[in-house]
Amino acid sequence: MTLAEFAPQFAAFAEKYDQFIICGHIRPDGDSIGSCITIAERLRLMGKHPRIYYEGDLSHYPWLTQPVEILDEKTLSRATCCRFGWIMVDCAEPARTGEAAVCADLAETSVCIDHHTNMGEYADYNLIDPGATSASEIIFRLFKALDYPFNPTMATALFTGIAFDTGGFRHSSMKPEIFGILQELSKQDVPITRVMNGLFHTKSMLEMKVLSVIMRKARLYHGRIIVSWLENSDFLKLGATSDDCEGAVADLAEVEEAEAAVFLRELPNGQVRVNMRSKHFINVAAAAKAFGGGGHVRAAGCTLSGPMLLAREAVISELAKQLPEDF
Ligand code: AMP
Ligand code: MN
Ligand code: MN
C-alpha cells in the first residue's frame, strides 16, 4: 500500500478499536521502541487504550518515556483476551515479534509499518517502504499525512529511531529530507545530546571489557571480512551475557580494511546468533536470508545452529561469494 492509501485506513483502524497491542521485533532497538512509543502516545491522546509488548531489555534507552502500560511474556495473554487491533512496527513478519506472534491469529485487524527488505505482507494493512531509513521515518510521514501533531514524547522517540537506524546519520540510507524531519522534531524539546550519547557513546565498564576481548579475537578473512565471536565459555569468564555485546559489530566495522563485519555469539542453548554489517557492495541481507534470517542490505542478522566453528565458516563462505574474483 502507498502512504496515500494506507493513511485513511490507519485513521479508520485507530477510530474503530478501543484496545490496541503494539509491538516491534524481539530484542527491541531504538527504532522499534521509538516507533511503538509514538503510536502508543498518539492512540493514548485519542482516548484509546493502547499497550506495548516488548520482548527484551529496554535499559539502554533510559531517556525514552513509556507513555502506556508495557506488556511482557507474562502479561501478554491478559491483553489478547479482549477485542483489539494489532500494530506491528519495524518488523517484517509476525515470527520476529516473539511471543506476540499469537496476535496474528487473535487480533481482529492488524497493521504493519516497516522498512525491512520486503518479506511479504502479513497484516491486513501494510505500509512497507524498504527505501526508508527507519520505521520511525515512515511513522513521521504517516502522522504528517494525517495531521497528527508531534509532542516531546513522540518527537524524542522518532528522533531516537531515525538516529539509531542511520548509525547517527552516517549510513548510506541517509537522504537530505531526513535533516528536514530532524529539524521539525527537534523543535519539540528533543534532548539531542542525551539521545546521541546514549545511543552511540555509552558503555558500562563490563561492556568495554567484553569489547576488548572481541577486538583481541578479531580476524580479517579474505582481507575484507572482519570476524569476531564470543562463546559461552568467554561469557562465563567475563561474567557477561549476550546483552553486553549488542553494539560490537559496529565497532568491528570501523576497521578500515573491512568491507563486511561479522559478530557471532553463542547463545545459552548452543545456537549462534550472527550480526552482519557491510559498507559498499556486499548485500548482507541476502547472506542472512540464506540462513533463514533477514534485515537490510547494509545491516542484517540470522541465527544458526552451532557449533561456533561451523557457523563461522558457513557465514564467511556465504559472504565471500560476493567478493570480486581477485579476492
Ligand atoms: P542486528 O544485527 O541484530 O542489529 O540486526 C540488523 C538488522 O537485521 C535489523 O534490522 C534486524 O531487525 C534484522 N535482523 C536481525 N536478525 C534477524 C533475523 N534473524 N531475521 C530477520 N531479520 C533480522
Ligand atoms: Mn530494528
Ligand atoms: Mn528499523
Q: Ligand 1 pocket, 296 CB below 6 A? A: yes
User: By percentage, how much of the chain surpasses pLDDT 70?
Assistant: 99
pTM here is 0.95
Query: How far, in Å, is the centroid of ligand 1 from the Cα of 294?
Result: 6
CATH of the domain at 16: 3.90.1640.10
Q: Which of 136, 131, 130 is nearest to 41 (CA)?
A: 136
In the structure, what pLDDT confidence band is assigned to residue 92 with cuts at 50, 70 and 90?
confident
**Same-domain check for residues 131 and 249:** no
pLDDT in tens, 178-226: 999 999 999 999 999 999 999 999 999 999 999 999 999 999 999 999 9
Tell me the best of 31, 116, 304 to mutate to test the pocket of ligand 1, counting ligand atoms within 8 Å of each CB and taking the most. 116
Which ligand is located closest to the Cα atom of residue 98?
1
Using the atom order of ligand 1, give the atom closest to the CA of residue 119: 21
CATH of the domain at 274: 3.10.310.30
Q: Ligand 1 pocket, 293 CB below 6 A? A: yes
Q: Which residue has the cell 540462513?
A: 291
**Same-domain check for residues 174 and 230:** no
**Same-domain check for residues 138 and 122:** yes
Using the atom order of ligand 1, give the atom closest to the CA of residue 276: 2
Rounded mean pLDDT of the chain? Answer: 97
Q: Ligand 1 pocket, 299 CB below 6 A? A: yes
Q: Ligand 1 pocket, 111 CB below 6 A? A: no
Domain span holding position 66: 3-200
Residue 326 lies in a domain: no
Boundary of a domain, candidates 161, 183, 200: 200
pLDDT in tens, 108-160: 999 999 999 877 899 999 999 999 999 999 999 999 999 999 999 999 999 99
Query: How far, in Å, is the centroid of ligand 3 from the Cα of 90?
Result: 5
